[in-house]
Amino acid sequence: MQLKDFAKTGRKVSVLGVGTYYDPAWIATGFLGWKRGAREKVEAIRAGLDAGITLVDTAEIYQSEPLVAKAIAEKNRDEIFLATKVWSNHLHRDELVSAFGRSLARLGTKYVDLYQVHFPNPRVPIQETMSAMEKLVEDGKLRHIGVSNFSLEQIKDAQAALRKTELSAVQLDYSLLHRAVENDVLPYCDSEKIALLAYYPLGHGKLPSDSRLDQAAGNGRTRAQVALQWLAGKPNVFPIPRASRAEHVWENAGAGTWELSEGQREDLDSKYR
Ligand SMILES: NC(=O)c1ccc[n+]([C@@H]2O[C@H](COP(=O)([O-])OP(=O)(O)OC[C@H]3O[C@@H](n4cnc5c(N)ncnc54)[C@H](OP(=O)(O)O)[C@@H]3O)[C@@H](O)[C@H]2O)c1
């Protein structure tokens, strides 16, 4: 598995990660205590770690933090880059600190590598949220700060609100099928060296059945691997495909062990313009 610099953190992280958002039904039934398919999901996350993936993405809302805790329990915690998120109703200082404490407990860990604001909330000043995040960093419980589903302007506001540290990551929808970030956020991330975590990297499951990927896949690669390598091969982009089935995760991890040629990239860029 290839590794690359994660923003300016000084950490090298696998070029792709595993995502642990499943579906709204899982979240709804999770609140009721039902965890159908939990064992397979834990195995899928573990498969990613066994394949050399070190980046794991979860969120307080996903109902998957306890699964991540199980999957990482017997691994070397320091080798894992653990990312979670705070929901937009917990962005005032005290709420954020409490939500973070609950995530730590569910994750069974003493620290989180990346804490991300899941969605912006215009009713809470970003200065208050970012100052609460920086307090967690000061206390040694949090390593790095990120935001998700923020516009470029909101990203800049979040960055400007940080006094003692820098914004390390932005998480947005990015795949061959959805390239809007290339217009503004991606060039900004590249110039500021901010990591871009690409969610829906398989087009929410559509790309593995898209025949436009066949030429680049050739004989040795699969469509999913081509779609993920197209993202993972970019300097600051880390795709986080969903891990709910181990065989898919093994296949997807194969996207981090080879590189598309420049010609293949150009061909894909033009096919998906
Ligand atoms: N920040 C946000 O607001 C936000 C929003 C959405 C998602 N996310 C993050 O992004 C992650 C990915 O999003 P997503 O899961 O919706 O989209 P995705 O990864 O683009 O697509 C997932 C779908 O692709 C299928 N799949 C995975 N690997 C495959 C393969 N090799 N061959 C064929 N099918 C394959 C999955 O099936 P199986 O499940 O059967 O493997 C699932 O149906 C989430 O888990 C979450 O961590 C973040």
In 3D space, the residue among 65, 51, 60 whose CA is nearest the CA of residue 17 turns out to be 51
Ligand 1 centre and the CA of 30: distance in Å? 18
In this prediction, residue 210 carries a pLDDT of 97
Q: Whose CA is nearest to atom 25 of ligand 1?
A: 205
Amino acid at the residue 212: R
Domain enclosing residue 262, as ranges? 3-271
Whether residue 62 lies in the annotated active site: yes
In this prediction, residue 127 carries a pLDDT of 98
Q: How many domains does the chain have?
A: 1
In this prediction, residue 246 carries a pLDDT of 97
- Other Cβ atoms less than 10 A from the Cβ of 119: the count is 16
The pTM assigned to this predicted structure is 0.97
Q: Whose CA is nearest to atom 13 of ligand 1?
A: 200
> Three-class SS string for 185-243?
HHHHHHHHCCEEEEECCCCCCCHHHCHHHHHHHCCCCCHHHHHHHHHHCCCCEEECCEC
Divide the 273 residues of the chain into consecutive groups of 10 and give the mean pLDDT of each group.
97 98 86 84 97 98 95 96 98 98 98 98 98 98 98 98 97 98 98 98 97 91 98 98 97 96 95 94
pLDDT digits (tens, 9 = 90+) for 170-186: 999 999 999 999 999 99
In this prediction, residue 266 carries a pLDDT of 95
Query: Is the dihedral angle over the CA atoms 125, 130, 131, 132 positive or is it negative?
Result: positive
Alpha carbon of residue 248 to chain centroid: 17
Amino acid at the residue 228: L
CATH assignment of the domain containing 77: 3.20.20.100
In this prediction, residue 32 carries a pLDDT of 80
In this prediction, residue 129 carries a pLDDT of 98
In this prediction, residue 4 carries a pLDDT of 98
Ligand 1 centre and the CA of 55: distance in Å? 15
